[in-house]
Amino acid sequence: MCGIAGIYGSKNQNLTKARLGKMSAKLEHRGPDAEGYFLDENLGLAHRRLSILDLSDTANQPMTDHTGRYTLVFNGEIYNFQELRKRLKGYPFQSSGDSEVLLAGLSKWGISFINECNGMFAFALWDGKKEELILCRDRLGIKPLYYLRKGQEILFSSEIRSLVAGLGSSPDLNRNALPEYLRYQTVHGPSTILEGVYSIPPGSYMYISDNEQEIKYYWKLAETANTSIGGMAYDDVLNSVRMSLEKSVRRRLVSDVSLGVFLSGGIDSSAIVAMGSKYASSSLKTFTIDFQEEEFSEAQYANLVAEKFETDHETINLAPYELIHQLPKALEAMDHPSGDGINSYVVSGVARQAGIKVALSGLGGDELFAGYPIFKQFHSLQNKKWLLSFPKFLRNFGGKILEFKDPGIASSKARSVLNQESLDLEFVYPFSREVISERASRELLVPDHLENSVYKIVRALVGYGSKGFGLPILSHVSAAEIDTYMKNILLRDTDFMSMAHSLEIRVPFLDHELVSLALGISDKHKYPHSPKRILVHALGKDLPSEIVNRPKMGFTFPWAIWMRKELKEFCGDMISELGKREDFVAHALDNQWDLFLKGNPKVTWSRIWHLCVLEAWLKENEF
């Protein structure tokens, strides 16, 4: 795992190693083991290396092929590199890792070689003969890659702050994205919180030459669903899921450095430990965060799994004062503001201190195997389209009664759904991931922000879910979850929070072959009569019954308790400072903070925390 950066189009006017060095310096935490540069007439590349495979200097980057034509900077892992290397007979390899295999394959077969690669990656490939550049990102968006254009130049990097360092001055804040951030605690790609800064879309590459700049897709989520599994018998489906997950975990155990697993004690992480323990060359090191607040503690379940599979287990007892101590560094590590990610920062820090360089995570299991409430809710909603036969004013009235009887976020969202013109996914799904409603977000922003484009953005992301491709209903929801919440919050936050500690996170559930398989499973097999039934049945006795039958808990901190006590001063200060900014309405922010402190059920901790993070990020980045 590494950090990459570069500048294209300078024609040597502004292209210096010193300028690239500023970009590279911002990526040091991503790759503390080695630093390298490449300068051509019209291009500069920088690389920071975190050594995982082939720890020798021969695997350092930038890496040029044996002909001298192609040069690569690469961030990520190609898990099937050993299989691919066998197909590249005759290439004079100088290293034993995956980077040179990628370079050799691209130089021999061109960008189509990426279709043969199983992994997580972001890379830049320079063709010195044609003076053409390719920027490419993995299928699911596990590894980040950002770019911006200024004049004739295109700058790119693994992190936004590295782009800013190469630019010399910060781009403007993307004020048009503020309503979206308030509603969804993130900005959906390819846009970001900064004007003119974009991410390369997952499953695509950008081709750049003097006369052309074009993004092309080599993989699209719903289009690659393995529909052949839809007609299989249940036992055959279980066998396919198990075999695919086993294969994915085995691939992700390949490492020349120490490796661990994040273990929450839930189904997903326990499944990874169960599979990993079978194939790991030594006892796995596992990590769990525990709290003194018992309702948030999962330690007993994690301990049970650790004992069953005889892992080298470490429990991290996190008290409020310890979080307060770590919070400034965690917020500083945020490359993009987000309401999530602090938990990943904490557990990643402990893992790195224990000597771990690579950790496996259960991220993605909920998205693939219907683990969130939205799966049941949307499936049920498809049988209630008769509700649309009632006039809108009656549906709105019914929603108001529901809110009155059961005040809270769920009732408020239900009312919004009842007011929609359709119950198709693109109309319903956007409410499931709202942190603040559109109505409430309008109250927090000055009138200039009343033009809210978030519906267009989210509908464009998930609209395919209900139109075409023949996916089962539950797979529509999976596709929506993967393309929005997972890519733009979970994966992005996991990446920069773990890399802040120079720790690589691998996600076996997001092997693209397993993803395609899961999307093709029929609803009659996948429907969660019990939590993630398909996954649980596929693993059988490998999962302890206590884990299967336990109440579902998200991996979250006791934020509501801490924000009213130990973090009260910090949050109050952040809300107050945010209210002084020209884009926000101070008294509306103060009112939300006051309602939260009083325990109003419509103002949960998540409606406050991402506002605090936004102010901290703006201050840290001098906006």
pLDDT of residue 467: 47
Element holding 313 (H helix, E strand):
strand 312-317
Nearest to 30 by CA among 122, 98, 154: 122
Whether the Cβ atoms of residue 516 and residue 221 lie closer than 8 Å to each other? no
Specify the range with the lowest mean pLDDT, choosing from 287-291, 338-342, 425-429: 425-429
pLDDT of residue 388: 55
Q: What is the mean pLDDT of residues 437-463?
A: 66
Question: What is the residue type of 293?
Answer: E
pLDDT of residue 239: 97
Q: Are strands 212-217 and 312-317 parallel, antiparallel or unpaired?
A: unpaired
Q: What are the residues facing 209 on neighbouring strands?
A: 212
Nearest to 139 by CA among 480, 506, 425, 516: 516
Q: What is the mean pLDDT of residues 445-474?
A: 59
Q: Which domains does the chain have, with CATH numbers?
A: 2-219 (3.60.20.10), 229-330+337-369+476-548 (3.40.50.620), 558-623 (no CATH)
Decide: residue 455, CB within 10 A, 0-12 exposed, 13-18 middle, 19+ buried: middle
For residues 607 and 439, give the distance between their C-alpha atoms in angstroms, rounded to a whole number: 13
Residue 185 three-state SS:
coil
Helices within 8-147 (DSSP H only):
17-25, 81-86, 98-109
Write the pLDDT tens digit of every residue in 235-281.
Answer: 999 999 999 999 999 999 998 888 999 998 899 999 999 999 999 88
For residues 257 and 235, give the distance between their C-alpha atoms in angstroms, rounded to a whole number: 37
Q: Does position 463 have pLDDT exceeding 90, yes or no?
A: no
Q: Are strands 358-360 and 259-262 parallel, antiparallel or unpaired?
A: parallel
**CA-to-CA dists, residue 157 to 162, 249, 273, 335, angstroms:** 6, 29, 33, 12
Question: What is the residue type of 87?
Answer: R
pLDDT of residue 415: 64
Decide: residue 353, CB within 10 A, 0-12 exposed, 13-18 middle, 19+ buried: exposed
Residues 6+ apart with CB under 8 A from 308: 544
For residues 417 and 431, give the distance between their C-alpha atoms in angstroms, rounded to a whole number: 7
pLDDT of residue 210: 86
The pairs formed by 307-311 with CB atoms below 8 angstroms and a separation of 24 or more are: 308/544, 309/273, 309/274, 309/277, 309/284, 310/277, 310/283, 311/261, 311/263, 311/273, 311/277, 311/283, 311/284, 311/285, 311/286
Backbone angles phi, psi at 338, to 5 degrees: -160, 150
pLDDT of residue 470: 72
Beta strand segments in 29-180, E: 34-40, 43-49, 63-64, 70-78, 119-127, 132-137, 146-150, 153-157
Sign of torsion over alpha carbons 159, 160, 165, 166 = positive
Write the pLDDT tens digit of every residue in 343-377.
Answer: 899 999 999 999 999 999 999 999 999 999 889 88
Nearest to 444 by CA among 279, 620, 607: 607
Check residue 168 and give left, alpha or beta (phi > 0: left; psi -120 to 50: alpha). Answer: left
Vertex 140: Cα angle to 529 and 381 (nearest 5): 35
For residues 314 and 44, give the distance between their C-alpha atoms in angstroms, rounded to a whole number: 43
Most confident of 29-43, 285-299, 422-436: 29-43
Whether the Cβ atoms of residue 280 and residue 365 lie closer than 8 Å to each other? no
User: What does the DSSP 8-state code read for residue 259?
Assistant: E
For residues 219 and 319, give the distance between their C-alpha atoms in angstroms, rounded to a whole number: 44
Question: What is the residue type of 349?
Answer: G
Residue 2, token pair as written in the block: 């590494």
Write the pLDDT tens digit of every residue in 539-584.
Answer: 998 998 888 887 666 556 888 999 999 999 999 999 999 999 999 9
Helices within 42-170 (DSSP H only):
81-86, 98-109, 160-167
pLDDT of residue 553: 60
Specify the range with the lowest mean pLDDT, choosing from 173-177, 254-258, 452-456, 610-614: 452-456
Vertex 152: Cα angle to 147 and 153 (nearest 5): 35
Residue 112, token pair as written in the block: 């189509």
For residues 37 and 60, give the distance between their C-alpha atoms in angstroms, rounded to a whole number: 10
DSSP string, 532-594: THHHHHHHGGGS-HHHHSSPP--S---HHHHHHTTTHHHHHHHHHHHHTSTTB-HHHHHHHHH
Query: Predicted confidence band at 399 (pLDDT cuts at 50, 70, 90)?
Result: low
Length of the chain: 623
Q: Are strands 358-360 and 504-506 parallel, antiparallel or unpaired?
A: parallel
For residues 330 and 497, give the distance between their C-alpha atoms in angstroms, rounded to a whole number: 7
Vertex 467: Cα angle to 464 and 471 (nearest 5): 85
Q: What is the mean pLDDT of residues 301-319?
A: 90
Residue 375, token pair as written in the block: 């799966």
Report the Cα 59 to chain-centroid distance in Å.
Answer: 27
